[in-house]
Chain A
């Protein structure tokens, strides 16, 4: 079921990113795409834990704990007795390893496609990114993004 939840989320974010592109709204687009990376990371993390279980490196109880953390974890202090959330960069590392081994046929840490892309993408998500060009939204917001990229 968790797989289906992630699929629903991934489709929604994918469609949201495309709608934002049509609306020429780079802010919404970049946040949707970042959310998509986080969804992929969550699925990759689960794959990796199950892969480790199959290889006998971890126990079923550990996987159970990890899955509970994925489903229930929060840092909201008012909600007690919930597991600590999994760090997103750590989840991305696991997802990259799962992709390297099972999809690309590479060594576990040969490529970090998801993590490096996510880190770069995050630079575009914050209000302080190359302040002036992005905050002064021109007729075409993508022109602002382009000029911001040129200034990198």
Chain B
């Protein structure tokens, strides 16, 4: 795998877990 490919996958691995964390977090802020 090339350096460029590694770099781009690295960025994907920043955004994807952040999305999951925020996705799980959101219901905590919704009014019950």
Q: Which A residues lie at the B interface, using CB under 8 A?
A: 3, 6-7, 10, 14, 17, 21, 26, 29-30, 33, 36-37, 39-40, 43-44, 46-47, 50-51, 53-54, 95, 98-99, 102-103, 113-114, 117, 121, 124, 140, 142-143, 145-146, 148-149
Using A17-B8, A54-B29, A121-B11 as known contacts, say yes or no to A143 and B16 having CB atoms under 8 A apart: no
Are the CB atoms of B29 and A53 closer together than 8 Å? yes
Total interface residues in chain B, CB < 8 Å: 22
Are the CB atoms of A143 and B2 closer together than 8 Å? yes
Are the CB atoms of B5 and A50 closer together than 8 Å? no
Are the CB atoms of A43 and B22 closer together than 8 Å? yes
Minimum CB distance partner of A38 in chain B: B15
Q: Contact check: which of B3, B12, B29 meets A47 at CB < 8 Å?
A: B29
Nearest-neighbour CB distance to chain B for A12, whole angstroms, equals 12
Are the CB atoms of A146 and B2 closer together than 8 Å? yes
A contact residues around B26 at 8 Å (CB): 3, 43, 46-47, 50
Are the CB atoms of A21 and B8 closer together than 8 Å? yes
Are the CB atoms of A114 and B8 closer together than 8 Å? no
Q: List 8 additional contacts besides A21-B8, A46-B26, A146-B3; criterion CB under 8 Å.
A: A26-B4, A40-B15, A43-B22, A47-B26, A99-B21, A102-B21, A143-B2, A146-B2
Nearest-neighbour CB distance to chain A for B8, whole angstroms, equals 5
B contact residues around A17 at 8 Å (CB): 8-9, 12
Are the CB atoms of B11 and A40 closer together than 8 Å? no
Are the CB atoms of B18 and A3 closer together than 8 Å? no
